[in-house]
Structure 1
Amino acid sequence: MNNLGSLIFLVSVFLFTTFLNWYVFQAVKTLTTNLDNEKIRNSINIGYWLIFSGISIWVVLTFIRIFSAGEITTSTQSVLNVFLTVLVTQLVVVLILFGEDIFRNIQAGFSLVLSGTKEFTFPTRNTWVSVLAITAAAFPFFSFIYGVTYGKHNFKVHKEVIYFEDLPEAFDGFTITQLSDIHSGSFKDLEGVQKGIDLAIEQQSDLFVFTGDLVNHKAEEIEPFLDQFSKIKAAHGQYSILGNHDYGDYISWPSSTAKEENFQKLKRQHERMGYRLLLDEHVRIEKDGQSIHILGVENWGVGFAKKGDLAKALNGTGKEDFKVLLSHDPSHWDEEVKRNESPIHLTLSGHTHGMQFGIETPLIRWSPVQYRYPNWAGLTEEKGRFLYVNRGFGFHAFSGRVGIWPEITVIELRKTR
């Protein structure tokens, strides 16, 4: 982001948060109006503005630090946690008050037409609406508190059984455990991370795959966790690919040489963990005289670098071969994979994190990320070609999870009878 773009962003953040502060204050003011003690009333109102104006300034200064450093650190992550918690909480209040304002304006319009300007008074806010708004806002507030403290390590195992007519008989019941988006630079709690690793090990799958974003920016971020992740083993091997964060593209480097050295070091980290890093290539997995192919491409994503070369990864495979592709960004499946002349039976992706925020219930499934990625989590199918999007193991920027929990995926391949 250039200097002008940064300035526009910072001013926009300050103005938007100030607007939210003012709008929410309308509910606070409505409630404090009923207080008989003027001194207490004024103290609450002044305290509100001191706290929330302070948060707005703190957030803007934090973004300046991020732009100056060229990266999000664990300390700036904490400020972003506060920012997002306050932002979502305030938005709930604003939405309810805005609904009331629409009704008040309609009511005022009818009153103006019927009574004329001499007797017209604009309808005041209802105290019960302000109480409702603040009460409703408590739910996202405490949800975010939970997400930052416990939700980020609330690992869930998602299991899917997928049927294929042309799956080789020997691979009927073959299982694949998938992790994605570890983002090791965000981790502080070794024991919390170990909970997820233990769950992955417990699955005892035939194959283990990791689908990109091992780090936030630097190869050194994974070093405290190398031994932990190297414990994940599978009978038919461990395979991995790169994600958009693994190239070091989002921070400033002293030189192009330093950036390249970091990238080469990161690739060696995969080897140290016992993962075979697939760079636009494929491997053949054999079992009882039959085989399937595991393909892996470098990152390819709409709006991100399109480094992956699917044709290169497919080179040496036949149209009739059973193929599983590891591709970090699910937009690759939409743009290139699902219509490829050489059928790719299953693609495993990550990248979206489910935005680390949303609702997943049997009746409701929603996350803001769905407006950017139509396939943002779970399994989808089109004409016999499947995509599974992992919700991510770690977290980035916002160091928490609310409603979209960190995931270990287990895919079982079955042959259609």
Structure 2
Amino acid sequence: MFFLLVIITLTTILHWYVFQAVKTITYTFQSDWWRNVLQWAYWIIALGISAYLVIKTYQLMGKGEFASSAQSVSNVMLTLIVTQLVCVVFLLGEDIFRNFQAFGTFVFNGFRDFSFPSRTTWVSGVALVAAALPLFSFVYGIKYGKYNFQVHREVLYFEDLPDAFDGFTITQISDIHSGSLKDKNAVAKGVEKVLEQGSDLFVFTGDLVNHRADEIDPLKPIFSQIKAPYGQFSILGNHDYGDYVSWPSKEAKVENFQKIKEKHAELGFRLLLDENVIIEKEGQKLVLAGVENWGVGFKEKGDLQKAISGTNPNDFKILLSHDPSHWDAQVKNNSNPIHLTLSGHTHGMQFGIETSLVRWSPVQYRYPNWAGLAEEAGKYLYVNRGFGFHAFAGRVGIWPEITVIELRKGKEPKVNYALNRD
């Protein structure tokens, strides 16, 4: 009930504030009839959206899982709130300025000829136009962005990489969240991109499903196409344990978890459960280790020391660990060095800005390493932005990712900018 009150209060405040811009614009109309029609239309639409959110949220409460209908609620709520907040930023800025103006007038004139400054039409117009940008961005992200698969490539240099693995490539995907993926044709195109990379090794870094093992069944013929010369390996993510859904019994949850593990095998993935395997090439080797989920604030089940048992500090090691907070907490300073850790989990919050000048997502306030490459003392972490989506059924600015890592022997070459000027 508290959550419903929060929704009602928040949406009412935002509706009222945005209405100030609508009202200011309509006051420029010559016709009272049009002014009244547009103002009434605004409130009918705004209150209709609020009613939809309240009714749907009430219906979903107690279901015990985040179903597709709940994703629709998230889509509407996020689109509404972000769009209106952009408008409110402009209006709030003007209100602060108007209050300073009013204070200055009062100081110099007192109550004589005092009047509070009116809103300016142009600021209200700019606010409404600016709000259209996130509105259309969210509409695009919900309709198309969630399947806008992008390939990210990284070349990483290691002086102690075995010679045979110079040029070795790894394709990584993460966070499939199969229960959310409804467009099989779009998913198939994403998997085609995976296959097009022709990498030596394929890895999947957790969250195969949202909650239930059978979510992956409709997509098994698609994902089981993924093959690589040196194998396909996977780990579990926090969603794969069934912790976020109500089960009729403890036994039902255990049975679902067992089925989850079996699904990996049915896809042709070797599931690594706190263990490691040796990848051999031309008589040389690297170690691929995988842990169960370990994350700050989430399930801390993975056992890193068990996963790398039997290895020594001189072995070249790659670790699959779903949650990137594991790297900071246990991995990067481990006494048995791990060269590269591949993670996922964050999804880049499926919302943000990534350009050559600006890189921002709300998730960065929770995860310092939330997408892409991080390095410390020669140890690397790569955080995949996720293949699928969850909760919010869309992506805005943070697109679904297919990662290709190329391992190279030696030191990273330095770019001579003097020789690369136009």
Q: Which residue is 1:63 aligned to? A: 57
Shift of 1:37: 2.4
Q: Distance in 2 between matches of 1:64 and 1:254?
A: 22
Shift of 1:107: 0.6
Which piece of structure 1 moves more, 112-121 or 203-212?
112-121
1:90 aligns with 2:91: no
Q: Distance in 2 between matches of 1:296 and 1:325?
A: 6
- 1:265-292 deviation line (CA, Å, top 9, x unaligned): 1110000000000011111111111100
TM-score (norm 2): 0.96
Q: Which residue is 1:283 aligned to? A: 277
1:20 aligns with 2:36: no
Q: Which residue is 1:4 aligned to? A: none
Q: Which residue is 1:146 aligned to? A: 140
Map residues 263-342 of structure 1 onto 2, 5 A cutoff: 263-342=257-336
1:191 aligns with 2:185: yes
Query: SS at 2:227's partner residue?
Result: coil
User: Which of 201, 207, 216 is the matching residue for 1:213?
Assistant: 207
> How many residue pairs end up in the alignment?
411
Q: Distance in 2 between matches of 1:190 and 1:218?
A: 18
User: Partner amino acid for 1:347?
Assistant: T
- 1:151-187 deviation line (CA, Å, top 9, x unaligned): 1111100000000111111111110000000011011
Q: Distance in 1 between matches of 2:188 and 2:294?
A: 30
User: Which of 22, 30, 41 is the matching residue for 1:36?
Assistant: 30
Q: Which residue is 2:110 aligned to? A: 116
Aligned-pair identity in percent equals 65
Q: Distance in 2 between matches of 1:117 and 1:415?
A: 78
Q: What are structure 2's unaligned runs of at least 5 residues?
A: 412-422
Query: SS at 2:46's partner residue?
Result: helix
CA contact (8 A) 2:353 2:397 kept: yes
Q: Which residue is 1:357 aligned to? A: 351
Shift of 1:132: 0.1
1:373 aligns with 2:367: yes
User: Partner amino acid for 1:51?
Assistant: I
- 1:234-270 deviation line (CA, Å, top 9, x unaligned): 0000000000111111111111111111111111000
Query: SS at 2:405's partner residue?
Result: strand
CA contact (8 A) 2:156 2:407 kept: yes
Q: Distance in 1 between matches of 2:4 and 2:313?
A: 52
Q: Which residue is 2:417 aligned to? A: none
Q: Distance in 2 between matches of 1:20 and 1:189?
A: 34
Shift of 1:139: 0.8
Query: SS at 1:69's partner residue?
Result: coil
TM-score (norm 1): 0.97
1:181 aligns with 2:179: no
Shift of 1:45: 1.6
1:125 aligns with 2:119: yes
Shift of 1:28: 0.7
Shift of 1:12: 1.4
Query: SS at 1:328's partner residue?
Result: coil
Q: Which residue is 2:376 aligned to? A: 382
Q: Distance in 1 between matches of 2:102 and 2:402?
A: 55
User: Partner amino acid for 1:187?
Assistant: L
CA RMSD in angstroms comes to: 1.0
- 1:195-233 deviation line (CA, Å, top 9, x unaligned): 110000011101000000111111111000011001010
Q: Distance in 2 between matches of 1:76 and 1:48?
A: 25
